[in-house]
Amino acid sequence: MEQLTWTGSFGAFLNPLLLAALVIFLLGFVANTILALAGLRAGDMEVNADGTLVFKRTPVDYALMTMKYAVLLFLACCVVFVLGGIFQPDIQAKGILGAMAARLVPVWIALIVIFAVSVTFKRKLGLYGKLFDSPIGMAGFGLVMFWIFAAVFSGLIATHGALDVISGLRNDLPGTPLPNPAEGQYPYYLLGGDNLGRDVFSRVVFGAADVLQIAPVATLFAFMVGITLGLPAGYFSGSAFEMRSPGFYITCALAGLAAVIGAISGGLSVGLWTLVAAAVAIGLFLTVKLDTILTFIANLALAFPVILLFFLLVTPEIVAAGVPQYMSMVLFLFPIIFLVVLFNSRFHTQPMTRNILVAAAAIVGFTAYFSLISNRSDADAPIRFWPEALDFFDIPGNLLIVFVAVVFVNSPTVFRIVRGIVLDVKTRDYVAAAQTRGEGPWYIMLWEILPNARGPLIVDFCLRIGYTTILLGTLGFFGLGVSPESPDWGSTINEGRRLLTVYPHPALPPALALMSLVLGLNLLADGLREESLRD
Amino acid sequence: MGMFILRRTGVMILTALCLTFVVFFLTNLFPNLEKLAKTQGNARMSDAEVVSWLDRNGYGGPLVVRYGEWLGVVPGWTRTNDDTGAVTGRCIDFGMDAEDAPTRCGLLQGDLGFSTVSDDEVGNIIGGRLILTGKLMFWAFALMVPAALLVGVLAGMREGSRLDRSLSTFSIASTATPEYVSGVIFIVVFASTTAGISGTLTEWGWLGSEGWLGDRRTLFLGSARSAMEDGITFWNFFLPVFTIALYGMGYIARMTRASMAEVMTAQYIRTARLKGVSFRNIVLKHALRNALIAPFTVIMLQFPWLLTGVVIVETLFNYNGFGWTMVQAASNNDIELLLACSIVAVFVVLVTQLISDIGYVFLNPRIRIA
ipTM: 0.88
Element (DSSP H or E) covering residue A102: helix A91-103
Q: State how far the Cα of A419 lies from the Cα of A425, in Å rounded to an integer.
A: 10
pLDDT of residue B180: 92
Residues A80-103 as b/e (b if ≥16 CB within 10 A, e otherwise) read ebbebbbebeebbbbbbbbbbbbb
pLDDT of residue A265: 64
Contact map slice: B 45-104 vs A, CB within 8 A: none
Among B28, B181, B220, pick the best mutation site for testing chain A contact (most A Cβ within 10 A): B181
Yes or no: say if A488 and A513 are a contact pair by the CB < 8 Å rule: no
Asked if B27 is an interface residue toward chain A (Cβ–Cβ < 8 A), one would say: yes
Asked if B352 is an interface residue toward chain A (Cβ–Cβ < 8 A), one would say: no
Q: B178 vs A470: CB contact, 8 Å cut-off?
A: yes
pLDDT of residue B215: 65
Task: State the DSSP code for A239.
Answer: B
Cα angle B7, B10, B16; round to 5: 140
The burial of A57, by beta-carbon neighbours within 10 Å (0-12 exposed, 13-18 middle, 19 or more buried), is given as: exposed
pLDDT of residue B98: 67
Q: In A, which residues are within 8 Å of B169 by CB distance? A: 136
pLDDT of residue A141: 95
Residue B370 has pLDDT above 60, yes or no: no
pLDDT of residue A378: 65
Partner-chain residue, chosen from B181, B327, B345, that has the shortest CB–CB distance to A511: B181
Q: State how far the Cα of B184 lies from the Cα of A493, in Å rounded to an integer.
A: 8
Average pLDDT over chain B, rounded to an integer: 83
pTM of the full structure: 0.89
Asked if B188 is an interface residue toward chain A (Cβ–Cβ < 8 A), one would say: yes
Q: Please name the amino acid found at residue B72.
A: G
The model's pLDDT over A89-147, given as tens digits with 9 standing for 90+, comes to 888 888 888 889 889 999 999 999 999 999 999 888 888 888 888 888 999 999 999 99
Partner-chain residue, chosen from A300, A473, A504, that has the shortest CB–CB distance to B15: A300
Q: In B, which residues are within 8 Å of A526 by CB distance? A: 168, 172
pLDDT of residue A148: 95
Taking the CA of residue B178 and the nearest CA in chain A, the distance in Å comes to 7
Taking the CA of residue B86 and the nearest CA in chain A, the distance in Å comes to 33
Q: B172 vs A526: CB contact, 8 Å cut-off?
A: yes
Q: In B, which residues are within 8 Å of A299 by CB distance? A: 15
Q: What is the mean pLDDT of residues B199-227?
A: 72
Q: A473 vs B22: CB contact, 8 Å cut-off?
A: no
pLDDT of residue B152: 93
Q: B176 vs A518: CB contact, 8 Å cut-off?
A: yes
Residue B367 has pLDDT above 90, yes or no: no
What phi-psi label fits residue A147: left (phi over 0), alpha (psi between -120 and 50 degrees) or beta? alpha
Q: State how far the Cα of A484 lies from the Cα of A115, in Å rounded to an integer.
A: 37
Partner-chain residue, chosen from A306, A477, A504, that has the shortest CB–CB distance to B180: A477
Residue B26 has pLDDT above 60, yes or no: yes
Residues of chain A with confidence (pLDDT) below 50: none
Taking the CA of residue A363 and the nearest CA in chain B, the distance in Å comes to 34
pLDDT of residue B344: 87
Among A270, A323, A470, pick the best mutation site for testing chain B contact (most B Cβ within 10 A): A470
pLDDT of residue A384: 64
Partner-chain residue, chosen from A305, A501, A514, that has the shortest CB–CB distance to B307: A305
Taking the CA of residue B356 and the nearest CA in chain A, the distance in Å comes to 14
Yes or no: say if A242 and A282 are a contact pair by the CB < 8 Å rule: no
Asked if B15 is an interface residue toward chain A (Cβ–Cβ < 8 A), one would say: yes
pLDDT of residue B212: 65
Least Cα distance to B11 among A248, A422, A288, A235 occurs for: A288
Asked if B13 is an interface residue toward chain A (Cβ–Cβ < 8 A), one would say: no
How far out from the chain centre does Cα B147 lie? 20
Tell me how crowded residue A349 is: count the other CB atoms within 10 A of its CB: 8
Q: Please name the amino acid found at residue A483.
A: S
Q: B178 vs A514: CB contact, 8 Å cut-off?
A: yes
Yes or no: say if A421 and A456 are a contact pair by the CB < 8 Å rule: yes
Asked if B158 is an interface residue toward chain A (Cβ–Cβ < 8 A), one would say: no
Q: State how far the Cα of B139 lies from the Cα of B224, in Å rounded to an integer.
A: 14
B230 phi and psi, to 5 degrees? -95, 5
Taking the CA of residue B120 and the nearest CA in chain A, the distance in Å comes to 22
The model's pLDDT over B60-94, given as tens digits with 9 standing for 90+, comes to 777 888 888 888 887 877 777 777 777 777 777 76
Share above pLDDT 70 across residues of chain B, in percent, rounded to a whole number:
93
Q: In A, which residues are within 8 Å of B22 by CB distance? A: 304
Q: A305 vs B304: CB contact, 8 Å cut-off?
A: yes
Q: B188 vs A521: CB contact, 8 Å cut-off?
A: no
Q: B349 vs A519: CB contact, 8 Å cut-off?
A: no
Tell me, letter by letter, the H, E, C secondary structure of chain B.
CHHHHHHHHHHHHHHHHHHHHHHHHHHCCHHHHHHHHHHHCCCCCCHHHHHHHHHHCCCCCCHHHHHHHHHCCCCCCEEECCCCCCEEECCCCCCCCCCCCCCCCCCCCCCCCEECCCCEEHHHHHHHHHHHHHHHHHHHHHHHHHHHHHHHHHHHHCCCCHHHHHHHHHHHHHHCCCHHHHHHHHHHHHCCCCCHHHHHHHHCCCCCCCECCECCCCCCCCCCHHHHHCCCCHHHHHHHHHHHHHHHHHHHHHHHHHHHHHHHCCHHHHHHHHHCCCHHHHHHHHHHHHHCHHHHHHHHHHHHHHHHHHHHHHHHCCCCCHHHHHHHHHHCCCHHHHHHHHHHHHHHHHHHHHHHHHHHHHHCCCCCCC
User: For chains A and B, what is the number of CB pairs under 8 angstroms?
Assistant: 140
The model's pLDDT over B126-137, given as tens digits with 9 standing for 90+, comes to 888 899 999 999
Q: B180 vs A307: CB contact, 8 Å cut-off?
A: no
Q: Tell me the three state secondary structure of residue A199.
A: strand
Q: In B, which residues are within 8 Å of A64 by CB distance? A: 162
Residue of A nearest to B36 (CA): A317
Q: A323 vs B315: CB contact, 8 Å cut-off?
A: no
pLDDT of residue A195: 85
Residue B211 has pLDDT above 70, yes or no: no
Yes or no: say if B210 and B239 are a contact pair by the CB < 8 Å rule: no
Categorize the per-residue pLDDT at B209 as very low, low, confident or very high, splitting at 50, 70 and 90.
low
Yes or no: say if A510 and A207 are a contact pair by the CB < 8 Å rule: yes
